[in-house]
Amino acid sequence: MKHTRVGIIGGGPAGLLLGHLLSARGIENVVLESRTREYVERRQRAGILEQSTVDVLRACGAGERMDRQGLVHEGIELRFDRQAHRIDFPSLTGGRTVMVYAQTEVVKDLIALREGPLLFEAEALSADPATGVVRYRHEGAEHTMTCDVVVACDGFHGIGRASMPAVTTFRRDYPFAWLGILADVPPSCEELIYAHHERGFALHSMRSPHVSRLYLQVDPGDDLADWSDERIWDELETRFAVDGDWKLERGPITDRSITPMRSFVAEPMRHDRLFLAGDAAHIVPPTGAKGLNLAVADVTLLAQALTRWHGVGDESLLDAYSETALRRVWRAEHFSYLMTTMLHRDPHQDPFDDRLQLSQLRYIVGSTAGMTSLAENYVGLPLD
């Protein structure tokens, strides 16, 4: 029977960052990760960091490589009706920007900084909210660990949320999915392009000056085998097309996947000694680039609350955690919903819906208030 102050289930960016923040404050913690280190460091996920996320990583010592290799973006481009419209972030948000830096790299940086126990291939089997007892399997044997507090950062399919005795869930599934690719070709743009087209949505992003990340709206039932490289590039070219001489550069596709689109929130995010953070508590469609950033906001709140509890025995921030975190979660859910429904084409929508989408897009790019609202939400609201 091993004891630790904070048991963290999940060694993704949320769990690793929480562990690092706690260790820096002298709070003992153990991180359990069910996958191998190699898998965790190669798992492709979000790559857009809000200003607040960048600030947190810098402040905790995890920003050195990010600042050398990350790409600062001062805006995004909206494309529709074969026209391109740029949203300038600094002028609309008091100088705030976003950073393109892949989750794989954030994870590598946090693993390199890890000081306390980090067990890979340690599968959490159960977590008792009343006692703080965590059972897990590691190296072929079952183990038991007692914790003053357990934080589940184990994703949508983890055991954390399932261990909560009373949870209300809110869910919305969208009638489309994203076909995402990685390609060994320099990006065809300096900033992200969000394209609305009659054939569906498309997004041009990047992972580095030499690697492009692109997405197509597809049917959730599509088979990857039906999407050849040529078909993918042809469809991207069609949806990104604008009047002028812009050209989409093509290259070898190194990775591809189809991801369903959904929104999900679990309330509350705490029961007794068990706390939820990140995807264990909420999922957002990736259109708003909020998933990783919400996870960082969650564990930053928790680190502050656990530090106060550890230092002076004050549990007020722990008691307020769920309510405080959910305010930000629902704001991000709403923004992601607006971006998703504005840019994607529902397969069942009619010409009336088409005109509403175009009207909203024209309003945003033609109104300072509209552009400001989008920019403020995209770069991220300040942390509480």
Which is catalytic among the residues 20, 73, 282, 310? 73
Which is catalytic among the residues 286, 310, 321, 344? 286
Distance CA 20, CA 113 (A): 7
Q: Quick check: is 175 catalytic? A: no
Q: Quick check: is 271 catalytic? A: no
Which is catalytic among the residues 196, 290, 310, 344? 290
Q: 117 - beta bridge partners?
A: none
Q: How many helices (H) and strands (E) does the chain have?
A: 12, 19
Which is catalytic among the residues 101, 174, 194, 215? 194
Q: Quick check: is 260 catalytic? A: no
Position 33, amino acid: E
Both tokens of residue 202?
């498309």
Phi-psi category of 244—alpha, beta or left, where left has phi over 0 and alpha has psi -120 to 50?
left
Q: Quick check: is 286 catalytic? A: yes
Q: Quick check: is 194 catalytic? A: yes
DSSP readout, 21-72?
A: HHHHTT--EEEE-SS-HHHHHH-----EE-HHHHHHHHHTT--HHHHHH-EE
User: Is residue 5 exposed (0-12), middle (13-18) or buried (19+ Cβ within 10 Å)?
Assistant: middle
Q: Name the CA dihedral angle for 120, 121, 123, 127, rounded to a multiple of 10 degrees.
A: -10
Positions annotated as catalytic residues are 73, 194, 286, 290, 378
